[in-house]
């Protein structure tokens, strides 16, 4: 009985990446090279960005030598019986390996290092991204041989789509017994004219094909490319601000980088005196940490984290800050790059603002601010001003600059006072906690992460933080030991970042014997159909 088996290839792609074209290319290549081949796919709703797979089988013996016999090909990929998996997205590669597709003794895996994040990963309030390193480890662990490179970048550089790159990778791997020319011939669409005469599209496809062919075909080139890509990953690294001598003396080295960034941020945000206040507050944290960990066994992590989160909170976002950031020349340039505008293209930039009463009240002294917010609360719907400010226009830029120049007003504003009070409460809690138990202080310091953004997001963050401080750090708990409190706070912080409704947070709070957050009133348009009238 003849034991020769077909060569099997599973292709994983996302909708709209040309997987269909790729399989057509492969089947045509096989035909022109004189081999029996078959492809199948589950395109389904592929074009709708879902994950999709294509499956190709090629019989390794030329048709001419089969004496009229025709191999029976499988329509679906057989787990553990694949010779290769080629994939344009790292998570999808890992998914197929998780389905048992790849056999370490047999399967060659060629995958893009690129990630197209799933909605579930993108929508988390914190960072919901899957750990790419962990995904790569699976690829390494469950493949006979693996090639990893950023197919998306190669495609962009060549000005083509990822399907051409995947074809090049397959050809370069030598999986099928076809010569390189056979593939290229098909990509040319039988067009034998010289490269310069080729259609733009075919030429681009061939460039992408060649790049991937060499990448996979010649490991050295691949290594070089990978390193180049890696180096290009961390593009312009932010310039590290320098630390004044006495600041350097006042704080232990492990905190210096954060300290320098934080200090610079506050000078940029407000002024030297405000930055000085920052240092002074940080000193309190440092003193507390020195008391509970004189040896610095924890590398002054509390102070370091406070240097980060204190700076971010003190530089709270308001319309003044936003106007400042949006009216910088560097920003205008960044936008030009992001939208890939050519030099002689004109770029018009419209910024979406919707300042409400609170935003304006923030800059007014408390008494006035209260009146404004009270007026706003009386309205049926809260006042808000939807604006599209053309920061490319004179009027637009001028108004942004005027707003940005209101820095002096910020310090006199009601919000400034409120924020400072809250910051002090948090700082006090951190200091107290640190003195009681280093870990407790550390967890409280990390809670600075809960404070971010504007308007409702910012309000929510502050409410959560205060609730955590009041009920987990201070108020009596079933288990009031510092260690237990630290654990509870850590859990609460993670939960607070899990969902915006705070369902997870409330659950965690209650689990640790603390009350859930009070429900805040929200106006609802009520419509109640009356039940059928009884005759």
Partner 1 sequence: MEVSFSKEIEALRLGAGDTFHGEGILAITKGLLQSGVAYVGGYQGAPVSHLLDVMVQAKPYMDELGVHVEACSNEASAAAMLGASIHYPLRGAVTWKSIVGTNVAADALSNLSSPGVKGGVLIVVGEDYGEGASVIQERTHAYALKSGMCLLDPRPDLGVMVNMVEHGFRLSEHSNMPCMMELRIRTCHVRGSFECKNNLAPLVSTRALMEEPAGFDYMRLAHPPVTFRHEKLKGDERLPAARRYIAENRLNELIPGTHADLGIVVQGGLYNSLVRSLQQLGLADAFGATDIPLLVLNVAYPLVPEQVADFCVGKRAVLVVEEGQPEYIEQEIATLLRRRDIQTPLHGCDMLPAAGEYGVEVLATGMAQFAQRYLPQHAQHSAQGWLVGNRERRAAVATQLEAPLPARPPSFCIGCPERPVFAALKLAQQDSGPVHIAADIGCHAFGTFEPFSMGHSILGYGMSLASRAGVSPMMQRRALSIMGDGGFWHNGLLTGVQSALFNGDDAVLLIFKNGYTSATGTQDIISTPDDEMKEHAVDKQQSLVDKNQTIESTLKGLGVQWLRTVHTYRVDKMRKTLNDAFTSDFNGLKVIIAEGECQLERQRRIKPWIASLLKKGERVVRVKYGVDEDVCNGDHACIRLSGCPTLTIKDNPDPLKVDPVAVVIDGCVGCGLCGENAHAATLCPSFYRAEVVQNPRWHERLLHSVRGAVVRALQPA
Closer residue to partner 1 in complex, CB, 75/366: 75
Closer residue to partner 1 in complex, CB, 277/384: 384
Closer residue to partner 1 in complex, CB, 215/327: 327
Nearest approach in angstroms of CB 304 to partner 1 is 11
Reading phi first (left if > 0) and then psi (alpha if -120 to 50, else beta), residue 513 is in left
Nearest approach in angstroms of CB 268 to partner 1 is 11
Nearest approach in angstroms of CB 402 to partner 1 is 10
Closer residue to partner 1 in complex, CB, 15/482: 15
Nearest approach in angstroms of CB 192 to partner 1 is 20
Report in angstroms the alpha-carbon separations of 437 from 287, 352, 441: 14, 46, 6
Nearest approach in angstroms of CB 520 to partner 1 is 13
Closer residue to partner 1 in complex, CB, 459/479: 459
Nearest approach in angstroms of CB 125 to partner 1 is 5
Closer residue to partner 1 in complex, CB, 92/293: 92
User: Phi, psi at residue 499, to the nearest 5°?
Assistant: -150, 150
Closer residue to partner 1 in complex, CB, 198/312: 312
Residues β-bridged to residue 149:
112
Nearest approach in angstroms of CB 347 to partner 1 is 5
Closer residue to partner 1 in complex, CB, 40/284: 40
As a whole number of angstroms, the distance between CA 185 and CA 171 comes to 12
Structure tokens at 27: 């089947």
Q: How far apart are the first and last CA of the chain?
A: 85
Structure tokens at 414: 């009601």
Structure tokens at 530: 């009356």
Residues 6 or more apart whose CB falls under 8 angstroms from that of 509 comprise: 467, 468, 471, 472, 492, 515, 516, 517
Nearest approach in angstroms of CB 292 to partner 1 is 24
Structure tokens at 59: 């019989």
Closer residue to partner 1 in complex, CB, 401/412: 401
Q: Which of 42, 37, 26, 141 is nearest to 86 (CA)?
A: 26
DSSP state at residue 296:
-
Report in angstroms the alpha-carbon separations of 24 from 29, 55, 152, 171, 268: 8, 11, 21, 14, 57
Nearest approach in angstroms of CB 185 to partner 1 is 15
Residue with tokens 């890992």: 94
Residues 6 or more apart whose CB falls under 8 angstroms from that of 251 comprise: 259, 282, 286, 300, 303, 307
Task: Measure CA 108 to chain center.
Answer: 29
Question: Strand, helix or coil at 85?
Answer: strand
Residue with tokens 């002689």: 344
Residues β-bridged to residue 515:
none
């Amino acid at each position: 009985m003849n034991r020769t088996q077909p060569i099997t290839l599973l292709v994983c792609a996302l909708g709209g990446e040309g997987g269909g074209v790729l399989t057509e290319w492969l089947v045509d290549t096989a035909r022109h090279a004189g081999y029996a081949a078959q492809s199948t796919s589950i395109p389904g709703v592929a074009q709708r960005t879902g994950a999709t797979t294509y499956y190709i089988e090629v019989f390794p013996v030329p048709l001419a030598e089969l004496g009229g016999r025709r191999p029976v090909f499988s329509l679906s990929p057989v787990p553990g019986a694949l010779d290769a998996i080629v994939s344009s997205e790292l998570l999808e590669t890992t998914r197929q390996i998780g389905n048992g597709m790849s056999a370490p003794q047999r399967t060659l895996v060629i995958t893009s290092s690129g990630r197209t994040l799933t909605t579930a990963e993108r929508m988390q309030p914190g960072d919901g991204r899957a750990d790419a390193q962990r995904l790569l480890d699976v690829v390494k662990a469950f493949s006979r041989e693996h090639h990893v490179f950023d197919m998306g970048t190669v495609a962009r550089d060549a000005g083509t789509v990822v399907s051409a790159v995947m074809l090049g990778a397959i050809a370069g791997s030598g999986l099928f017994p076809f010569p390189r020319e056979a593939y290229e011939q098909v990509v040319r669409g039988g067009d034998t004219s010289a490269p310069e005469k080729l259609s733009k599209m075919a030429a681009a496809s061939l460039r992408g094909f060649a790049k991937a062919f060499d990448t996979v075909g010649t490991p050295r080139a691949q290594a070089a490319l990978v390193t180049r890509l890696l180096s290009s990953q961390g593009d312009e690294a932010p310039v590290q601000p320098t630390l004044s001598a006495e600041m350097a003396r006042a704080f232990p080295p492990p905190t210096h980088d954060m300290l320098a960034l934080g200090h610079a941020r506050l000078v940029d945000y407000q002024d030297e005196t405000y930055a000085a206040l920052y240092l002074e507050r940080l000193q309190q944290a440092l003193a507390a940490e020195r008391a509970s960990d004189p040896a610095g066994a924890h590398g002054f992590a509390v102070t370091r984290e406070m240097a980060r989160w204190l700076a971010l909170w003190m530089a709270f976002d308001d319309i003044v800050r936003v106007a400042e950031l949006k009216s910088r020349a560097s920003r205008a340039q960044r936008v030009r790059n992001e939208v890939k505008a050519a030099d002689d293209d004109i770029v018009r930039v419209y910024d979406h603002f919707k300042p409400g009463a609170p935003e304006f009240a923030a800059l007014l002294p408390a008494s006035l601010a209260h009146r404004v917010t009270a007026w706003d609360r009386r309205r049926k719907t809260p006042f808000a001003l939807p604006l599209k400010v053309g920061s490319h226009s004179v009027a637009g830029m001028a108004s942004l600059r005027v707003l940005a120049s209101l820095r002096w007003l910020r310090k006199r504003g009601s919000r400034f006072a409120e924020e400072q009070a809250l910051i002090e409460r948090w700082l006090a809690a951190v200091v107290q906690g640190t003195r009681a138990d280093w870990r407790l202080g550390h967890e409280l310091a990390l809670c600075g992460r809960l404070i971010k953004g504007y308007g409702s997001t910012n309000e929510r963050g502050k409410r959560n933080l205060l609730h955590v401080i009041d009920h987990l750090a201070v108020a009596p708990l079933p288990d009031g030991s510092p260690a237990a409190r630290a654990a509870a706070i850590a859990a609460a912080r993670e939960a607070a970042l899990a969902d915006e409704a705070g369902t997870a947070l409330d659950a965690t709070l209650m689990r640790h014997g603390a009350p859930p957050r009070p429900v805040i009133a929200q106006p609802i348009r009520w419509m109640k159909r009356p039940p059928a009238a009884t005759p």
